[in-house]
């Protein structure tokens, strides 16, 4: 039976910025980033109890590394 313990996401951005997230079944994640300039490190990630909570956390990590997104027009809901 194939029952994974984790899933990973790699988000790449401008100037070689990267966000690497590995979400573990136990509700925590390993989150590492490099902003493409001179800032790199790990971000706190624990107590993730649902997919919704993971989405909220991921939005925050993306904003931390790449800045706030800018939208043109109406968002897709």
pLDDT digits (tens, 9 = 90+) for 16-46: 899 999 999 988 999 999 988 888 999 888 8
**Which of 62, 58, 13, 16 has the alpha carbon at shortest distance from 37?**
16
DSSP per residue, 2-61:
---SEEEEEEE-GGG-EEEEEEETTS-EEEEEE-SSS-EEEE------SHHHHHHHHHHH
H/E stretch holding 69: none
The total of structural domains in the chain comes to: 1
pLDDT digits (tens, 9 = 90+) for 38-76: 889 998 888 899 989 999 999 999 998 888 766 555 655
Range of the domain at 37: 6-66
- Rg of the chain taking only CA atoms, in angstroms: 14
Q: Is residue 41 part of a domain?
A: yes
This prediction's pTM: 0.77
Distance CA 77, CA 8 (A): 25
């Amino acid at each position: 039976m194939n029952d994974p313990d984790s899933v990973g996401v790699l988000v790449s951005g401008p100037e070689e910025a990267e966000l690497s997230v590995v979400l573990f079944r136990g509700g925590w994640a390993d989150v590492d980033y490099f902003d493409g300039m001179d800032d790199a490190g790990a971000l706190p990630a624990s107590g993730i109890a649902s997919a919704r909570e993971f989405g909220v956390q991921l939005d925050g990590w993306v904003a931390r590394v790449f800045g706030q997104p800018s939208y043109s027009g109406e968002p897709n809901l």
